[in-house]
Structure 1
Amino acid sequence: MKKLKFMVLALALVLALAVPAMAEQVNVYQDNQLVKSVVFKIGVPYYVVSGQTPGVKMDVAPFIENDRTFVPVRFLGNALGLSNDKITWDNDTQTATLKGSATLQMSIGKAQIVSNGQAKDIDVSPMLVDPGRTMLPARFVAEGLGYEVEWDEATQIVVCWPQGEPKPDVSGAVSYLTQMQQPEQPLVQGHSVNGYVVPANTNLWISTSGYKNNGSIVFSIDLKKGNLQQQYEDAKNILLQTIDSDTTTKAIDYAKKNQYALENGSRENPIYCPITTFTAPNGMAVRVGGGGGDSIEFQLWQTN
């Protein structure tokens, strides 16, 4: 009997030693389902989870600021597997908290992420944009919640998938998001766009699609095209069609600060110039900033 017990114990020991140790892996869930992938595309107000289409609609599209992709906090948290009760906002401290595989905290205007109480400096800070959305840098949040993150410059796509897993095939999601990006129609110079008269022969980039009837227009100063003095003058002429001269001057001056930051800052020594909104007495608002590393975007709309 003792011999039999010894043989059983020996066999158990051999089996235990024969099984390799499992690598530590972070599992991320949404509605108790493993999130295999999350895909965002710059400028497209939808995201795709685990290849499921149609995608989820957002009220603010992801954008690039200081070479980082920003996504609305609640949509970002939901996409990465967090229910709404795991995503909180403290208005007094302007701090967003996300509770997943780690507890992350980020505050408006502070270039720092706090993970389980440990603070780490980062190169950008969260920001507030209209309509009252808190935008977080996607990479730092996703990595903090246990994801690998990949950026594709050519397609302007961000892909997230759980750490320890091979990168999934997201070609279907990329195709869907590309289709959801409304193509820009050729702009006839000197004609109107959503009620705004666009200066003839302008070097401004003008968005010609996707407008609602709220007095909106989106355009950018293109730093690569040169003739910046004329571009600023063209931007001023567009803004003055619906807002007063004081608000226009503030917007143009802030755009020039953005230009200085883009031309003189670097990843190692960034010059922060966050997206800022100026509101005119008549209720028109103009948001200045973003647009990528070679442009300064203006978004103009009626707030009431």
Structure 2
Amino acid sequence: MKEGRVIQSTGKWYKITADDNTIEARLPGKFRLDAKEVTNPIAVGDYVDFETENDGTGIIREIKERKNYIPREATHGRRGEQILVSNVDRAWVVQSIRKPRLNTGFIDRFLVTCEAYEVPAGIIINKKDLANQKDLRLLEDKSELYENLGYEFLSTSIHDKESLLQLADQLKNQTSVFIGPSGVGKTSLLNAIDPDIDLKVNEISSYSNKGKHTTTFAKLIALSSGGYIVDTPGIREFGIVNIKKSELSLYFPEMREPREHCKYYNCTHFHEPKCGVVEAFEEGKIDPDRYHSYLNILETLPDY
């Protein structure tokens, strides 16, 4: 039995690296049956025990306990959750200031999941070379907001060497992941930071002004400066899973102290009287965009 790490998942087969070798491995059917509430029982980043078959392929026998992982609600009408990546030191949500435009709702949903699943998170706003003066003021405001909440915040451009050096320094000797919509420049950033990676890049669709999918499967890539990065397919939606309405405010750092002053233990901070979070919001202690993000997420969660 050998131990390896999953570096790519293509559905039925997995690429595993072990002892500087990469092999193709498959998963026995019992794992899929046991993980019926999860669309993918194994994720990129997982450590596994496997046996080598006579034809040189492998068969996975055990999935090691995860340090952490990032799930989202399954898409395309499937039930349960999809695990995007596991065992990472930091997860970066990547957005662009333009083409496609910045989506702070996506950022906040991502940060909630990272808080819930104990994954250190950071924010990258790319394509700052396209920003006008209004965009630059917005970047300053968002940088101050999220950094005060404890999140790393980087503004980047493949044409700005200083921003690339800052990002490269953040990725060094870590296992990181880039998650965001298609077209925001995740793959272009990686190519700019480490040209040896040489990943395929697509253009923005002139019709929809949105990105075309370039990365088809999540892939764990070794960086020449040390560490690993997971490049993931573009994600249009980030559905939150396994969080109750009464728990949601726990994953907004600015709401943790005010919620202690609520009259009701299961307060949703929306319509209840004597709510500490609402009072903090009305006193200007909680950013309006963040509070409205909270309400938008709250509306999507089940009542249980």
TM more than 0.5: no
TM-score by length of 1: 0.26
Which of the pair has more CA radius of gyration? 1
User: Which of the two has greater strand per residue?
Assistant: 1
